[in-house]
Amino acid sequence: MKRFFLIGILILNMVAITEYGKGVNKKEMIIPEVSQDSFGRVEITFRFERHDLERSNQFAIWFQNQSGEVMRTLFVTKYAADGGYRIDLDCLPKWVNRAEPEFLPQAEIDAYTGPTPLTGRLEYVWDGKDRHGKPVPEGNYVYYIEGNMYDKSTIVYSGLILVSDEEMTVRSRFEQNEPFEYRGAGMIEDVVVRYIP
C-alpha cells in the first residue's frame, strides 16, 4: 500500500512540474551566469629597477576597453595613489587622466595600492573582472603600464588583448615622453604579457 501511495505522489509531482513548465515564459527563466573561470587571466611580468631619484619609481597598471573606459586598475604605487598626483602634476599623468582617482571611493583605491617594490622581477595578474568585481565580456582590452622614470620623463607600455578561447602572448608598444631622460632608465624593462584562457 505504501508503495502505491509513493508512486502516486511521484506521478502527481511530475505532472505538476510539467504543467508548471508550460506556463513559464522563457524570457523570465533565470539563466546562470557564465563561470568566471571561462574568462581566464592576463599575466603581466616585468623587470623593475628601483632608483634613488626624486620623482621616480612610481608606476600604474590598468586595463581599458576599446571605448577608453577603465575596466580595472591592477596596481598603483602608494605615493601616487595617496594623492601624489595632486602635488606633482607629472606623476602618472596618463593613469590620472584615464582613471580619475579623485572621483573614486578610497576603499577602491586602497584595494590596488601598494608600496614601491624592491628591484626584481614583478608579476601582476588580472582575473578578467571589472572594477566592480563582475566578469568582463569577451572582446578587446588594452593594458597600460605607466612609469615615472625621473622628473617629467614617463614611459608607457601598452598592448591589445583579445579575451577569447585562445592563449596569446602580446607584444608591447613602448612610448617615452619628452624630455628624454637617461636618469631612471631601465626602471621597467622586459615586459611580458600573456592571456591564458
pLDDT at 130: 94
Distance CA 61, CA 36 (A): 21
Whole-structure pTM over 0.85, yes or no? no
Q: Around Cβ 29, how many Cβ atoms within 10 Å?
A: 8
C-alpha cell at position 152: 617629467
- In angstroms, what CA-CA distances link 74 with 103, 104, 118, 157? 17, 14, 18, 15
pLDDT band at 174 (very low <50, low <70, confident <90, very high): very high
Give the contacts of 195 (CB within 8 A, at least 6 positions apart): 40, 41, 42, 161, 162, 163, 167, 168, 169, 170
Q: State how far the Cα of 122 lies from the Cα of 80, in Å rounded to an integer.
A: 19
Query: 6 pLDDT band (50/70/90 cuts)?
Result: very low
Distance of alpha carbon 71 from alpha carbon 15, whole angstroms: 48
In the chain, count H helices and then E strands.
5, 10
CA 125, 129, 135, 141 torsion-angle sign: negative
Residues 31-44 have pLDDT tens digits of 333 344 457 899 99
pLDDT digits (tens, 9 = 90+) for 16-31: 333 333 443 333 333 3
pLDDT (tens digit, 9 = 90+) per residue, 114-147? 999 999 999 999 999 999 999 988 889 999 999 9
Sheet holding 120-126, edge to edge: 120-126, 41-48, 188-196, 168-170
Nearest-angstrom CA–CA distance, 176 and 145: 12
- Among 39, 59, 66, 40, smallest CA distance to 159 is for 66
Q: Is the peptide bond before 117 cis (omega within 30 degrees of 0)?
A: no
C-alpha cell at position 94: 596618463
Place of cell 505538476: 16
Query: Coil, helix or strand for 148?
Result: strand
